[in-house]
Amino acid sequence: MFSTLNARLADVGVETATIGFFSWLGITYSIKVFWAPVVDRLKLPLLDRLLGKRRSWILLAQAGIATGLYLMAHVDAVAAPEMMALCGLLVAFSSATQDVAIDAYRIEIAEERLQAALAATYIFGYRLALLVAGAGALYLAEFWSWQVSYEVMALLVGVGAVTVLLVREPAVNHFAAAQDIAHKIEQEASKRAHLNPRLARIIGWFYAAVAGPFLDFFRRYKELAILILLMVAVYRISDIAMGVMANPFYLDFMGFSKVQVADVTKVFGFFMTIAGSLVGGVMVMRYGVRNILLLGAVMTAATNLLFVLLAQYPPNIYTLAAVVSADNLSGGIANVALIAWLSSMTSASFTATQYALFSSLMTLPGKFLGGFSGIVVADFGYAQFFLVAGFMGVPAILLALFMIRHGARLDALAPRNEEAVPAPGSH
């Protein structure tokens, strides 16, 4: 959505620096950990009984996405940039909430050995959606209008809603540890603070939902916890920061048309990303997730530097295709490895919140720095910006090497042998 929004803003004449600030809407993905405990523990009235916890939250989030996209279709970005930002915020918040619920669903629906395959499938679906919302939106904007483009995107959210109604809810209840924490806190609040049972129950629920996931993670990984979180925070900083200015670079600086950008970066790039995801999934299963994490970090930093060369030469559609191919192939490999690694470290008792912590940290630094990308480009140029973005990948390479050296200990601490408790009414 944000890549397409950047293209729309550039197309209608919004200043480059303002486009950069619009990327801060994506920070909602990076702070979703703050409301993930609600998604993890709160049952939605009526919907929970009809669909179950995970599917009900996904469906509610999709309603918010569709509403926001429809509103964006009818806002003039030049005359009312603040209203466009608010509508974009609704889409971003709803989409981030959907991510929290979908990530929990994905981890809970299958055992740990299948997570690499699920990660590849997840990326396939994600990239297919990006193809429709990216290339599809650009085609519609080129031949009709941006209003039609956004209205169609809002309508297509219905595909996801139908899918939610057709798939099954995870048939296993993993909340035993969280329930134990809540029960202990409830007893302590009743005995020591002399609170009434209802208030004690609320305190126990809140503590288990908010503090439980973090206590579980830090107690499990001890002194390695901080380095793990640092690795998560810097792993994608290079490509996220670079990606903010990608469409303005193609359209404004290089002078490609919207159709050319859609053909190369969205359609052709889609197939290269899927190829990278498939290759990455196979390589993770064959060589281990941490080795492919290192490979992905090196490839991401190296391919970002290719954009420095691209900025030095006159526009050429074949050169653009070559650079985009390398970038998307490396991105597919890196993302599969990262998702599989994060999934393996997520406790089944706190699936949504712990994975939201990881995925929030995964995007926060890149999104924050990406907000200043327009200023860097305006002051120094695209080549210098891409050079800086490439070197941002060095910390991820160093930390990936550290994780390989401590692989045996990380494996011993991983929550892969947690017992699953059958959900009430499941067979």
Q: What does the pLDDT average to over 93-98?
A: 91
| Res. 60 pLDDT band, cuts 50 70 90 | very high
Q: What does the pLDDT average to over 382-391?
A: 88
Query: What's the pLDDT score for residue 240?
Result: 83
**pLDDT of 213 higher than 90:** no
What would the CATH number be for the domain defined by 2-416?
1.20.1250.20
| Res. 424 pLDDT band, cuts 50 70 90 | very low
Rounded Cα distance between 381 and 70, Å, is 35
Q: What does the pLDDT average to over 356-369?
A: 78
Average pLDDT, the chain: 81
Coil, strand or helix at 311: coil
Three-class secondary structure assignment of 323-381? HHHHHHHHHHHHHHHHHHHHHHCCCHHHHHHHHHHHHHHHHHHHHHHHCCHHHHHHHHC
Poorest-pLDDT segment among 100-104, 124-128, 151-155, 171-175: 171-175
**pLDDT of 264 higher than 80:** yes
Angle at 345 between CA 409 and CA 24, to 5 degrees: 125
- 346 backbone dihedrals φ, ψ, rounded to 5°: -90, 125
* E strand map for 320-414: none
Are 280 and 294 within 8 A, CB to CB? no
Domain coordinates in residue numbering, the chain: 2-416
